A and B are shown apart, each in its own frame.
Chain A
């Protein structure tokens, strides 16, 4: 195929890729325990995001504003080609090491000094919180850089679309400030105090350990003081009040595509893979069983955990609560599903596998969105031409066209409100909006334009 690009764009993209490659090579050398000066860390922290930004800027340089999907299904990366498999295998390996073999990444066992990749990040960790790095610190740093760098690329791509612009600014800030700097800095200020989750938006049930006895105890320990009590109350209010209310008013998108970390990575780093989601009815069915299954699972686990907490017992009906309830959930759902499959398989299954099939928070909000919310995607009368761009680019695998071509509003529990269906529609058919509940669900719409049918009794 003839895809000659102007020289300046190729040069710019090459510089961007080169900068990113430098950072990755340094990280790889660090992982193999090469002793690198701390200037190397600064080099990585600069070139990694900068490379992504330069690449993103150059990709759309000189092109008129608009939808940039040319060649999505012919490129190796976005069409499950060789580069997709390489990235998929690489990411999956990283997650496996991160969750189950952190010592390979350089995590010092039992307080021993870090080495390798994790040791490489020690100076940054000391600078932010005054203590050595951990695998989660390294993960959080790389994760935040990915959202920042590829988020800015996304903004260049969708700079004509104000919804996409503000949504992306929001996920970048939410990640950097709420998920990364505030928790890490607070951690540094309270090193002698017991650990509890300090990401203000990391609500139960996405945070599956919120109600576990150790976490409750740590928040309410006397040495945790008002900070611990604040996080405990905020966690309860967030789960019971903030989430249902906001979801009622604007749909679950306030979380999934505006502030959530998983959603943030999916929308930025995962943008090239959104078209890979499975649109079949079969996968929709699987989705409903799985996601609600996970929600039921975490509610049962949490019920048991709370029983243990109040009954002051490690057993529930003769079963050890840690071994039979907490640990399997953390392993199967918390690590394998959300991490290894959820992100590792981006280039193969799409960028929202976790959000669509597994996230209990998404399931919880989805119930409100489906039955009690003001949010809908309005279909614009009879303008739909059934082209299918909306369905193709729906990362949640919703067959948006099914609704649009019959003039029906899209009311689906799984919609995360990313707004891409509306952006790629060539006929101006779709609009995400919040409005009166009355008439939101129109089961048997009459498509505007056909008066012979509309005027029937």
Chain B
């Protein structure tokens, strides 16, 4: 009977353990991690800080779950992995042997080598420890600077604002979320942040972080030479695989741990999953490194099958993601970028005064649906995923928007207006159909 050891107590590792247990009642499963003993959802850290939840609410499984499912939790830090002797050396002096090893070691906030980036009062936001540090760093302060206009950045800004801390938000690009959303949507988001009294500065890159006499961060200087005093600096310019403890071993790594489509590393008994992974060849239509919650979960599901005797390739389907910018929800499906690529058309609609927008991208020659960005409305994943898989036309999508609508009951939508505008812009004559349960529930034909 194999002993499967998983390093990393995040969503990837935990999903692996759960799915191995589902498929093999006898496997010996150990999860080693030093962040927390029990798995928690790091996506909820912001809600703990804002007082929406207590830390215990972030745990998706009760503490008794692990023993009941015979998943051994080893709350310890791994200093070293000895791939040749198949063993882990822990900080507490113990050694753990493995037959199969799964590395789900996650990532850590990225740094750029700025002057002052390691000062007290400067931090990123990823782990439970980061949250505790944030409590310390924000105690009694009045102002902060957050650097980096990504999803974690806006979360950190929202967290700080919930405690009425003045926030300056430095964004390198000319507009917020450049690369993911167009300027129309970005403007809406920036207006909304202004409504939440965030001081957004675009085209602003960090030059250095300054310190006071006690060696604590007390401001930033931008590349434009502007000095912004503050008492805390958040660095949220992305995350990078947390693999430094694996350097100088026989494990092949680049930016992340290199894996094949089976999530296997250069060692046949060692697999890697989640944020720390870099694919040697990117999966079709995807990037080599994808650090989002659900890709970690999917890699865990996949590697669990391989570990239990059914080798399976990691085949992520259509890209999707979602986020929330203060009060504005965002969902994306398929492929949408800020600059419309050659050969593609887009349909864009924005509400005149509410925070809602809709951008649908399609192929200009054959009208094939390529991707969708929505703000302030919810869409039905299953239906959109099917449209993408079955190469539905944009006309079909626009006609059947009601099937894909996921806002709560009694909400109103603007689909009729969308269709009218779409007909005008693209010289079509399509008609909005009402919702059909039989179309919605039609399962994917395998």
Closest to A3 in B: B164
The answer on a CB contact under 8 Å between B52 and A69 is yes
The answer on a CB contact under 8 Å between B44 and A427 is no
Please measure, in the bound complex, the distance between the C-alpha atom of A419 and the C-alpha atom of B329, giving whole angstroms: 17
Offer 7 A-B interface pairs, CB within 8 angstroms, sorted by A: A2-B164, A64-B195, A73-B52, A160-B327, A426-B324, A428-B331, A448-B381
Q: Is B1 an interface residue when CB atoms closer than 8 A count as contact?
A: no
Q: Is A72 an interface residue when CB atoms closer than 8 A count as contact?
A: yes
Central interface residue in B51, B302, B411, by most chain A CB within 10 Å: B51
The answer on a CB contact under 8 Å between A422 and B44 is no
Closest-CB distance, A59 to chain B (whole angstroms): 15
The 4 A-B residue pairs with the shortest CB-CB distance in the complex, in nearest-first order: A381-B381, A66-B327, A428-B378, A452-B315
Closest to A428 in B: B378
Please measure, in the bound complex, the distance between the C-alpha atom of A201 and the C-alpha atom of B223, giving whole angstroms: 68
List residues of A (281-333) whose CB comes within 8 Å of B's CBs: 281
The stretch that binds B, out of A99-107, A228-236, A385-393, is A385-393
Within the complex, which residue of A388, A405, A426, A449 is in contact with B385, where a contact is CB–CB below 8 Å? A449
The stretch that binds A, out of B56-64, B246-254, B344-352, is B56-64
Q: Is B255 an interface residue when CB atoms closer than 8 A count as contact?
A: no
Chain A residues with CB under 8 A of B411 = 162-163
The answer on a CB contact under 8 Å between B315 and A455 is yes
Q: Is A192 an interface residue when CB atoms closer than 8 A count as contact?
A: no
Central interface residue in A65, A391, A402, A453, by most chain B CB within 10 Å: A453
The answer on a CB contact under 8 Å between B322 and A428 is yes
Given contacts A74-B51, A388-B58, A428-B331, contact A450 B320 (CB under 8 A): no
Given contacts A386-B293, A453-B301, contact A70 B408 (CB under 8 A): no
List residues of A (408-434) whose CB comes within 8 Å of B's CBs: 419, 422-424, 426-428, 431-433
Q: Is A226 an interface residue when CB atoms closer than 8 A count as contact?
A: no
The stretch that binds B, out of A21-29, A87-95, A241-249, A435-443, is A435-443
Please measure, in the bound complex, the distance between the C-alpha atom of A69 and the C-alpha atom of B54, giving whole angstroms: 12
Central interface residue in A160, A163, A392, A423, by most chain B CB within 10 Å: A392
Q: Is A161 an interface residue when CB atoms closer than 8 A count as contact?
A: yes
Chain A residues with CB under 8 A of B327 = 64-67, 160
Interface contact tally, CB-CB below 8 A: 182
List residues of B (363-415) whose CB comes within 8 Å of A's CBs: 378-382, 385, 406-412
The answer on a CB contact under 8 Å between B410 and A388 is no
List residues of A (1-30) whose CB comes within 8 Å of B's CBs: 1-4
Given contacts A449-B298, A449-B317, contact A70 B329 (CB under 8 A): no
Given contacts A74-B51, A423-B408, A449-B317, contact A383 B331 (CB under 8 A): yes
The answer on a CB contact under 8 Å between A438 and B441 is yes
Closest-CB distance, A338 to chain B (whole angstroms): 28
Q: Is A371 an interface residue when CB atoms closer than 8 A count as contact?
A: no
Q: Is A382 an interface residue when CB atoms closer than 8 A count as contact?
A: yes
The answer on a CB contact under 8 Å between B140 and A382 is no
Given contacts A163-B410, A383-B322, A438-B441, contact A450 B301 (CB under 8 A): yes
Please measure, in the bound complex, the distance between the C-alpha atom of A422 and the C-alpha atom of B408, giving whole angstroms: 7
The answer on a CB contact under 8 Å between B408 and A161 is yes
Closest-CB distance, A79 to chain B (whole angstroms): 8
Within the complex, which residue of B53, B142, B446 is in contact with A388, where a contact is CB–CB below 8 Å? B53
List residues of A (360-377) whose CB comes within 8 Å of B's CBs: none
Given contacts A389-B47, A449-B385, A450-B317, contact A427 B298 (CB under 8 A): no
The answer on a CB contact under 8 Å between B302 and A2 is no
Q: Is B69 an interface residue when CB atoms closer than 8 A count as contact?
A: no
Please measure, in the bound complex, the distance between the C-alpha atom of A3 and the C-alpha atom of B320, giving whole angstroms: 36
Please measure, in the bound complex, the distance between the C-alpha atom of A163 and the C-alpha atom of B378, giving whole angstroms: 15
One digit per residue, 1 when the CB lies within 8 angstroms of any chain B CB and 0 when it does not, for chain A 105-136 equals: 00000000000000000000000000000000
Q: Is B314 an interface residue when CB atoms closer than 8 A count as contact?
A: yes
Chain B residues with CB under 8 A of A388 = 41, 44, 47, 53, 57-60
Q: Is B126 an interface residue when CB atoms closer than 8 A count as contact?
A: no
Q: Is B179 an interface residue when CB atoms closer than 8 A count as contact?
A: no
Closest-CB distance, B13 to chain A (whole angstroms): 14
Q: Is A190 an interface residue when CB atoms closer than 8 A count as contact?
A: no
Interface residues, chain A, with chain B CB atoms under 8 Å away: 1-4, 64-67, 69-75, 160-163, 165-166, 280-281, 378, 380-383, 385-389, 391-392, 401-402, 405, 419, 422-424, 426-428, 431-433, 435-436, 438-439, 447-456
The answer on a CB contact under 8 Å between A2 and B140 is yes
Chain A residues with CB under 8 A of B408 = 161-163, 419, 422-423, 431-432
Within the complex, which residue of B43, B378, B437 is in contact with A431, where a contact is CB–CB below 8 Å? B378
The answer on a CB contact under 8 Å between B446 and A455 is yes
Please measure, in the bound complex, the distance between the C-alpha atom of A70 and the C-alpha atom of B46, giving whole angstroms: 11
Please measure, in the bound complex, the distance between the C-alpha atom of A3 and the C-alpha atom of B165, giving whole angstroms: 9
Q: Is B86 an interface residue when CB atoms closer than 8 A count as contact?
A: no
Chain B residues with CB under 8 A of A378 = 406
Q: Is B340 an interface residue when CB atoms closer than 8 A count as contact?
A: no
Q: Is B75 an interface residue when CB atoms closer than 8 A count as contact?
A: no
Closest-CB distance, B354 to chain A (whole angstroms): 9
Please measure, in the bound complex, the distance between the C-alpha atom of A332 and the C-alpha atom of B222, giving whole angstroms: 69
Please measure, in the bound complex, the distance between the C-alpha atom of A254 and the C-alpha atom of B125, giving whole angstroms: 43
One digit per residue, 1 when the CB lies within 8 angstroms of any chain A CB and 0 when it does not, for chain B 282-307 equals: 00000000000110011001100100
Given contacts A65-B327, A380-B380, A388-B60, contact A449 B320 (CB under 8 A): yes
Closest to B408 in A: A163
Chain B residues with CB under 8 A of A382 = 294, 298, 320, 381
Chain B residues with CB under 8 A of A427 = 322-324, 329, 331
Closest-CB distance, B104 to chain A (whole angstroms): 15
Closest-CB distance, B236 to chain A (whole angstroms): 17
The answer on a CB contact under 8 Å between B50 and A401 is no
Please measure, in the bound complex, the distance between the C-alpha atom of A405 and the C-alpha atom of B294, giving whole angstroms: 10
Q: Is B326 an interface residue when CB atoms closer than 8 A count as contact?
A: yes
Q: Is B318 an interface residue when CB atoms closer than 8 A count as contact?
A: yes
Please measure, in the bound complex, the distance between the C-alpha atom of A71 and the C-alpha atom of B51, giving whole angstroms: 4
Please measure, in the bound complex, the distance between the C-alpha atom of A160 and the C-alpha atom of B411, giving whole angstroms: 10
Given contacts A382-B381, A419-B408, A450-B315, contact A280 B142 (CB under 8 A): no
Please measure, in the bound complex, the distance between the C-alpha atom of A67 and the C-alpha atom of B326, giving whole angstroms: 9
Closest to B412 in A: A162
Closest to A75 in B: B51
Chain B residues with CB under 8 A of A419 = 408-409
Closest-CB distance, A84 to chain B (whole angstroms): 15
Closest-CB distance, A363 to chain B (whole angstroms): 25
The answer on a CB contact under 8 Å between B51 and A401 is no
The answer on a CB contact under 8 Å between B293 and A70 is no
Please measure, in the bound complex, the distance between the C-alpha atom of A454 and the C-alpha atom of B195, giving whole angstroms: 43
Please measure, in the bound complex, the distance between the C-alpha atom of A426 and the C-alpha atom of B329, giving whole angstroms: 7
Chain A residues with CB under 8 A of B437 = 435-436
Please measure, in the bound complex, the distance between the C-alpha atom of A328 and the C-alpha atom of B98, giving whole angstroms: 62
Chain B residues with CB under 8 A of A69 = 47, 50-52
List residues of B (127-163) whose CB comes within 8 Å of A's CBs: 140-142, 162-163
Closest-CB distance, A246 to chain B (whole angstroms): 15
The answer on a CB contact under 8 Å between B312 and A452 is yes
The answer on a CB contact under 8 Å between A451 and B62 is no
Chain B residues with CB under 8 A of A75 = 51
Please measure, in the bound complex, the distance between the C-alpha atom of A14 and the C-alpha atom of B18, giving whole angstroms: 52
Closest-CB distance, A170 to chain B (whole angstroms): 11
Q: Is B196 an interface residue when CB atoms closer than 8 A count as contact?
A: yes
Closest-CB distance, B136 to chain A (whole angstroms): 13
Please measure, in the bound complex, the distance between the C-alpha atom of A392 and the C-alpha atom of B314, giving whole angstroms: 33
Given contacts A70-B52, A432-B408, contact A439 B164 (CB under 8 A): no
Closest-CB distance, A220 to chain B (whole angstroms): 41
With A385-B43, A424-B52, A431-B408 already in contact, 4 other A-B pairs whose C-beta atoms are closer than 8 Å: A387-B47, A388-B44, A426-B324, A448-B381
Please measure, in the bound complex, the distance between the C-alpha atom of A435 and the C-alpha atom of B294, giving whole angstroms: 27
The answer on a CB contact under 8 Å between A2 and B163 is yes
Within the complex, which residue of A280, A387, A431 is in contact with B62, where a contact is CB–CB below 8 Å? A280
List residues of B (397-446) whose CB comes within 8 Å of A's CBs: 406-412, 437, 440-441, 444, 446
Central interface residue in A166, A380, A422, by most chain B CB within 10 Å: A380
Chain B residues with CB under 8 A of A452 = 298, 302, 312-316
The answer on a CB contact under 8 Å between A402 and B60 is yes
